[in-house]
Structure 1
Amino acid sequence: MKPGDELPPLSVPVTRTLIVAGALAGRDFKDVHHDAEAARAAGAPDIFMNILTTQGLVGRYLAERLGPGAVLRRLAVRLGVPNYPGDTLTLTGIITSTCDDERTADVTFTGTNSLGRHVTGTATLAFALPAPGGAP
């Protein structure tokens, strides 16, 4: 792993179940995340994903791409266009720097859907030292 390395993309279908389950798991009971009529009354065409679900998907993406030894140390996100049901969120990332002494890597990531950029941000991940004898 070195600066400039691109992480393989991850495509996530944005379903009603994902949006509602993510909001409920994060105890976000705001009606725009589970009630289509309330979302329309608020000016949206349908329910939409909350920020905690987006952050969870980013965490999943980074963990899957950087391996089980990666620990998320810092996450900074900026939301853009909403994620509505029936769309696909595609996450991509690039290693921007590494520090061998601290066993860390910085990553810049973007998540896009058919409307444009849903999320952009940066993350710092740390990597555990291997166990004595090389066992994980």
Structure 2
Amino acid sequence: MKLSEINVGDELPPLSVPLERSDLVRYAGASGDFNPIHWNERFAKEVGLPDVIAHGMLTMALAGRLVSSWTGDPGAIVRYGVRFTRPVVVPDDGSGAVVELGGKVAKINDDGTIKVNITAKSADQGVLGGASATVRIPA
């Protein structure tokens, strides 16, 4: 992909990522985040959550994967940010949750970088707000 082939309004190929409790356990081990809201249903409910929730940084990483898959190079991302608006609830029902990700080219900057706006939903509700990435694509 070349910069000259990209236009404002272009949509990134969508990404759908299933999450089960076992994914959360693996992420906890990799990240060192063993907060019981990510694996203990009883504890999660005691603190007011509907069920176990995915790590926010895992959700953010999935949105980053959407962009890096599109660019073909994780190093092309020069800026990336999100706001966490709603947790991804991961029930222990054999199906878990699905995070649906999409993106759209919002702006091509004068310096040749591209701003991509990202959407992330789970259970038909947005889970990230203000999510965007700035990427640099070779001319």
Do both proteins adopt the same fold according to a TM-score greater than 0.5, normalized to the shorter chain? yes
Structure 1 position 40, deviation (Å): 1.3
- Picking from 13, 30, 46, the partner of 2:18 is 13
SS of the counterpart of 1:57? helix
Ranges in structure 2 where 5+ consecutive residues have no aligned partner: 1-5, 91-95
Partner residue in 1 for 2:134: 124
Identity %: 30
Structure 1 position 128, deviation (Å): 4.8
Structure 1 position 44, deviation (Å): 1.5
User: Structure 1 length as normaliser, TM-score?
Assistant: 0.83
User: Structure 2 length as normaliser, TM-score?
Assistant: 0.81
How many residues matched?
A: 128
Compared CA separation, residues 31 and 60, structure 1 to 2 (3 A): same
1:90 aligns with 2:100: yes
Paired residues for 1:42-53 under 5 Å: 42-53=47-58
Paired residues for 1:96-135 under 5 Å: 96-99=106-109, 102-120=111-129, 121-128=131-138
RMSD: 1.9
User: Does structure 1 conserve the Cα–Cα contact (< 8 Å) formed by 2:107 and 2:115?
Assistant: yes
Structure 1 position 111, deviation (Å): 0.4
Ranges in structure 1 where 5+ consecutive residues have no aligned partner: 130-136
Report the Cα distance in structure 1 between the residues aligned to 2:28 and 2:124, rounded to whole angstroms. Answer: 21
Q: Aligned AA for 2:135? A: L
